[in-house]
Amino acid sequence: MRIYARTSPAMFLQTNCNHVKHLRVLYPTVEQALASQFASVLRACSDASVLQQGRQVHAQVILRGISNDCLLGGRVLGMYVLCGSFVDAKNTFYMLERRSSLPWNWMIRGFTIMGRFDFALLFYFKMLGCGTSPDKYTFPYVIKACNGLNNVSLVKSVNKTIRLMGFELDVFIASSLIKFYAENDCINDARCLFDKMPHKDCVLWNVMLNSYVKNGDPSSALEIFLEMKNSEIRPNSVTLACILSVCASEAMISLGTQLHALVVRYGLELDTPVANTLLAMYSKCQNLFDACKLFDTMPQTDLVTWNGMITGFVQNGFMGEASHLFREMISVGIKPDSITFASFLPSVTELACVKQGKEIHGYMVRHGVPLDLFVKSALIDIYFKCRDVEMAHKIFLQSDTIDVILCTTMVSGFVLNGMNCDALEIFRWLIKQKMRPNSVTLASVLPACAGLAALKLGKELHCNILKNGLDGRCHVESAISYMYAKCGRLDLAHHIFGRMSERDTICWNSMITSCSQNGNPEEAIELFRQMGMEGTRYDCVSISAALSACANLPSLRYGKEIHGVVVKGAFSSDLFAESALIDMYAKCGNLNSARSVFDKMQGKNEVSWNSIISAYGNHGLLKDCLTLFDQMLENRFFPDHVTFLAILSACGHAGQVDIGACYFCSMTEEYGIPARMEHYACMVDLFGRAGQLNEAYEMIKSMPFTPDAGVWGTLLGACRVHSNVELAEVASRHLFDLDPQNSGYYVLLSNLHADAGQWGGVLKIRNLMKERQVQKVPGYSWIDINNTTHIFVAADGSHPVC
């Protein structure tokens, strides 16, 4: 065939005269012999690279006067279709006799290959209109064209024609029909046709097996595999790769291992697709030891193999190993593609290394790696998590195609960086572009409503979720519950949580944290207990949230019990759980236990150092607090805004104004950390405790953003201590606008007027409270006796002991 393709048609005829004489035994005429030879040559012309040779052969066919031969004409037409020359194919088609199905079949096939499914079906109906009967070679491409248009009703009509013509049990047609039905949510029709087949070859079994896998029905896929294994048909590499993918998705390590043995038994262990699927199965089943062993023993590894191994490391949290393997992949000459980067970039995101992220981004640009939506989404995620919001936004704006996944990444990135208004703007733009938000999008935008305490907007999104039937999903309901809790509606959060049919660890953590942060630590601890009783596994977030609740209560007994859970549950080496323990012990007044936990930590990070610095600061031990700060620097840990907040608070408790002011300047000037609202509140408190109210007021006026109620409340409290009625009036005006329902501010100002003997001012404040229907919340105290907490309000005589 290759000789024919490289030889001119004239030379071909000269060198094959003797062969033609021999063919007269088989073919009665020279024309038929030539037609057979030309047909053989045309079969070799099956792609665009040999189109010119095909045209030369066609010219010789015309010159020899044998172009009217039906089979040879069909072969010429087929050559043009396979070579992609549809203009020549069309001209040839109209020169042929069209009473045979052959020319029609080639045109239908050609339009289907082109993706012009409407034209393929048009030619099918023209064929029927001309009275030409389709044959078994017609229908597979007709069915494929219907699949391209997702036209189920038309396929069912074609199926009736197939049945009437007696072709329904043809293996090729049945395979096409089964595949169509499976891809268009008609799996029962696919199975019904499959069961009718008297003889099933391996291809047919594979089509049915793959149909169940694509339809997310692993149990039926396993059932059909077992039926196949019990039949006379032996599974091939496609079968085993398909069923191994089920084991991977369903984490069926036992069955996967048995199939590995079957692979070896059939001698398919060197088959690359099978080996790659085995690798994915071991990785997804968290059996990285066997995955690495298989990878090291594979004689041939391709790009898919490397991608699978990198994905395995990332999915199992081995980010450093993934990074090392990526570098090794490049060093051995394997060129990564967009799938490699989509798999590998999450490891960079987890490490939050913006330098490495930019290096990989540069590599992709230099080597022309196509930035598909998945890669762009991963890059945007990296830049957001590394706090480079501008670069993330730039990649988004430069995208030619934007889908709901990319928008969801932008929404979650803005929320992560506290830019809740920008997150909502992206969400509104998404709606305007007629994109339909999915469950992940809605679960990502709800925290933006929570951050802004936008209850009305949150309720609107909740209605949208109910309307689109997305409320049954665990992550969505968890986000709804969190939003209501953050907006101060803990009752609605409880209601949503109670209705959830399925609760994972994240749902429990969200509810425990919400109760703890909304002044209901007892409920948080009770939820933590229920979580364990229902068999849901604790993680470091669960432990941290429960310990935070113990610290807020405060309850040393519960804290110690949770400390026991930490030790028994292998959380003793978790930095965040240990940091939460330090915070709990310190707030419960047991500073020695807090220091003991800190000293026993095998590794420390910024959070653990901040926790112990804050612990000493809250106990008024400024000297120890600053000593720990120096030790933190010596251990090459850089302070952050939380570190300085703890130091400023400690200075306030100790009354050291000059030291506090020094560290405030050091934070902004030496370390380049911009002061936040809470830092200014600490400085106002520092000046206020020292009686320097004018300096406190000047600090508020110098703030680069609008002060919140916490800042003005701190100044009002200082005015109450130092009896400054004039400045208290200034602070209260702002407070009554910012937080008009907080009774504490009214009481503070009223008491200040009373101390100054200004009873008219007292009466004015009391009347304002009545006018605004502000209810005074009574303060209360509690004491633990014999592991029972007893709560008392002022002048409480209702307790049985009283």
Fill in the amino acid letter for 764.
K
Sign of CA dihedral 428, 433, 434, 438: negative
Q: What percent of the chain has pLDDT over 70?
A: 91
Mean pLDDT of 68-88: 78
> CA 478 from chain center: how many Å?
16
Residue 14 class from Cβ within 10 Å (0-12 exposed, 13-18 middle, 19+ buried)?
Answer: exposed
pLDDT digits (tens, 9 = 90+) for 428-484: 999 999 898 998 999 999 999 998 889 999 999 999 899 888 887 888 898 999 999
Phi and psi, residue 538, nearest 5°: -75, 150
**Under a CB-based contact definition with an 8 Å cutoff, are residues 640 and 605 in contact?**
no
In whole angstroms, what is the distance from residue 16 CA to residue 674 CA?
Answer: 88
Mean pLDDT (whole number) for 321-336? 88
621 in Cβ contact with 586 (< 8 Å): no
- The mean predicted confidence, pLDDT, of the chain is 85
pLDDT at residue 415 greater than cutoff 90: yes
Asked whether the CA dihedral 489, 492, 498, 503 is positive or negative, the reply is negative
Structure confidence at residue 86 (pLDDT) = 81
Give the pLDDT of residue 602.
Answer: 83
Query: Residues 268-288: pLDDT tens digits?
Result: 888 888 999 999 999 989 888
Name 317's Cβ contacts closer than 8 Å, sequence gap at least 6.
350
pLDDT, tens digit, for every residue of 473-506?
888 898 999 999 888 898 999 899 988 888 888 8
Q: Encode pLDDT of 683-725 as tens digits.
A: 999 999 888 999 999 999 999 888 888 899 898 888 888 888 8
Tokens 């005015």 label which residue? Answer: 719
Query: 242-251, 319-328, 378-387, 761-770: which range is least confident on average?
Result: 761-770
- In angstroms, what is the C-alpha Rg of the chain? 38
Question: What's the pLDDT at 645?
Answer: 93
Per-residue pLDDT tens digits for 549-568: 888 877 788 889 888 888 88
**End-to-end Cα, the chain, rounded Å:** 107
The whole-number pLDDT of residue 20 equals: 42
| Distance of alpha carbon 513 from alpha carbon 576, whole angstroms | 15
Give this prediction's pTM.
0.65
Residue 783 β-bridge partners: 790
Q: How confident is the model at residue 614 (pLDDT cuts 50, 70, 90)?
A: very high
Count the neighbouring beta carbons within 10 Å of the beta carbon of residue 525. Answer: 25
| 685-to-126, 641, 736 alpha-carbon distances in Å | 87, 17, 20
Distance CA 97, CA 132 (A): 11
Query: Rounded mean pLDDT of 94-121?
Result: 87
